[in-house]
Structure 1
Amino acid sequence: MLNFSEFVAETSIVEDGKKEEFIKGFRHKKDLFEWINHFMRKDGLSRKTRLFLERFLKVEEGVLRFIEENVEIVKGIKGDFHIHSNWSDGVNSIEELIVEAKNLKYEYIVITDHILVKKSKHGMRVEDFFKRNEEIEKLSEKYGFKVLKGIEIDINPDGSLDYSEEVLSKADFVLGAIHFDYGEGIKKRWELFKKLVENPLVHAIAHPVESIGFENWIKRGEEIAHIVEKSGKILELNLAPHRLKESDMIIEYTKDSDVFYTFGTDSHYRKQLLFMVFSQMFLEKLNPCKEKVLNFKRWEELPI
């Protein structure tokens, strides 16, 4: 079983040849943020990676103990619904992600590369979407492993999406997100959320607390649960370490509804699929309604 320092090294894009040095320093430094910045500057990795590691560590002490004791994937989990490949802003190829998922004994994964064409250089253009899907089909056949063709797509200020209805209909799983409030604050997020759940081509809402807004959840949690339940949309329980509290909040407001959930690691690196370990933190709260978590279903049974 991995200890905490090894878990961080594995999941945080530390090169294999440098992991031992990272772990050794991690164990002996009192100021972990100082050590991370020193190591990453020395190692030449990006500021983005340093920020990720810092966010990783900004979780409750209890979560750190949980990792130390439970770095094993939950039995019965059949797939991961939120993974990015190098077709958008992920580090690894789809083939590398398949190999990692098979090592975890999964039956399927959903590759949800970013669109964000109008807002980011990292999004897939339409032609890349179709090329990626061709690659997915070839690799699925090669490995005898199901890879669903997903996307994570942002909603524009007017409520439109960057891909046409014709293109979106070719995706197996559309993960709608609100990464921007376009300078208009929490009211805009509420407006965009309602438009997102009304869109028949969107299957699920990514990192819903961030997308809808923390204040909106506090003020309108029960209303959000009702709107999502009525729309038939799925809520993601995002398992990235810095979003665990958000996922806990989602369960508190929606567990008594008929809302379905997905666990998604939001992986941008193959080892981050290990974030699925955090699903254990929520299963007790979700019982006896585990059947509402789609990760326990075979891909043929998914309501998408």
Structure 2
Amino acid sequence: MDPVAVLREYAFWLERGRADTYRVRAYREAADVAASLPADQRPTTVEGWRALPRFGPKTAALVTEAMAGRIPEALARRREEGAASLDPAGDELRALLRGDLHTHTTWSDGGSPLPEMAEVAEALGHEYIAITDHSPRLTVARGLSRERLLEQWDEIGRVQEERSLRVLRGCEVDILADGSLDRAEDLLAGLDVVVASVHSDLKADSATMTARMVRAVAHPATTVLGHCTGRKLRGDGTWRGQSAFDPEMVFAACAMFGVAVEINARPERQDPPLDLMRVAADAGCLFSIDSDAHAPGQLDFLTYGAARAAAGGIDPDRIITTWPVDRLLEHCRRHR
């Protein structure tokens, strides 16, 4: 077996199981070291691998078994565990999903490079994936400047040449305090998908937040309203409070302008909660089930989102990520 593939697959299963980021990083960094070695120069013993940078006892044991032509026992166990659905309640709807409109790479705060995210998405059966790294204002997440976004578009073009799934130009664009979007208009026009999200001043009063969100939703480039309440599960099991806004007004704007309300599939977000999801459904909104993946193994989080959409009784045809890519892109460009 290819030791590089073994390490990356093992990291995938760890990510899917929500393992600690630093633990997963050890396997991906070891894979990068192994990939840099010509095949005839790769060690065949645990000691040989341990002598290389980024290799510890567990990573060395994995690749030594792989080099001997065996499926490593640890990997076999992970595969067996991974055969179970993340949430059986979402399986039927998950099978209808064609793509993912909210993902992150090492261009901003993701843990893996763009080509690897696209490769894994294709292996999972995705027909399309939008790369939506952050906009400039979110410096803590290494938001992309104009120059870096254009460079990323070049990489998307190169990756597209090697993949059968569509790799879409996207961006998770900050909704600024006045409701404007944190991207120049010419760059917004060049994007396939725009996920507009609030990341700051989450405790603003309801009137302020409502006006802010409605203005962003009304922008012709906005495709998806990302994680609308901003809630997040803390390490101690309590929730960071939801932003206050008028859901009837915000969701009426989403329905009016054709902006999909994101059903964020990350287990620590589960945003919007079911009561607000039903308000959005009653308002006539479209939805987008997205992984908000920051690593390849998290792309499979879509199952969690599908389970929540099923619990909310959302009609699959109102979920834009069930649509074929041509219909999706036509919708994304509806106001341009």
Residue deviations 1:145-176, cap 9 Å, x none? 20110001112223333321111100101111
Match of 1:67 in 2: 86
SS of the residue corresponding to residue 190 of structure 1 reads helix
Match of 2:244 in 1: 216
Contact 2:175–2:182 under 8 Å retained in 1: yes
User: Which has more helix, going by share of residues?
Assistant: 1
Contact 1:11–1:274 under 8 Å retained in 2: no
Match of 2:161 in 1: 141
Match of 1:235 in 2: 261
Task: Supply the RMSD in Å over aligned alpha carbons.
Answer: 3.2
Cα distance, 1:257 vs structure 2: 3.0
Residue deviations 1:101-152, cap 9 Å, x none? 1111111101110013365461000011111011101111112220110001
- Provide the C-alpha distance between the structure 2 equivalents of 1:121 and 1:282, rounded to a whole number of angstroms: 27
What amino acid sits opposite 2:247 in the alignment? G
SS of the residue corresponding to residue 137 of structure 2 reads coil
Once the two structures are superposed, the pairs formed by residues 99-178 of structure 1 within 5 Å of their partners are 99-117=119-137, 119-120=139-140, 122-178=142-198
Task: State the percentage of identical aligned residues.
Answer: 23
| Count of residues paired in the alignment | 254
Q: 1:176 to 1:157 in 2, by over 3 A?
A: same
Match of 2:118 in 1: 98
Contact 2:96–2:322 under 8 Å retained in 1: yes
Cα distance, 1:292 vs structure 2: 0.4
SS of the residue corresponding to residue 261 of structure 2 reads strand
Normalising to structure 1: TM-score of the pair? 0.73
Give the greater-gyration-radius structure (CA): 2
What amino acid sits opposite 2:119 in the alignment? V
Contact 1:82–1:112 under 8 Å retained in 2: yes
Cα distance, 1:248 vs structure 2: 2.2
Normalising to structure 2: TM-score of the pair? 0.67
Cα distance, 1:74 vs structure 2: 2.0
Cα distance, 1:10 vs structure 2: 5.6
SS of the residue corresponding to residue 117 of structure 2 reads helix
What amino acid sits opposite 1:214 in the alignment? Q
SS of the residue corresponding to residue 101 of structure 2 reads strand
Residue deviations 1:176-206, cap 9 Å, x none? 1111128744443222112212212222111
- Provide the C-alpha distance between the structure 2 equivalents of 1:159 and 1:71, rounded to a whole number of angstroms: 34
What amino acid sits opposite 1:256 in the alignment? D
- Tell me, yes or no, if structure 1 residue 271 matches structure 2 residue 297: yes
Cα distance, 1:289 vs structure 2: 1.7
Gaps of 5+ in 2: 1-12, 29-83, 232-240
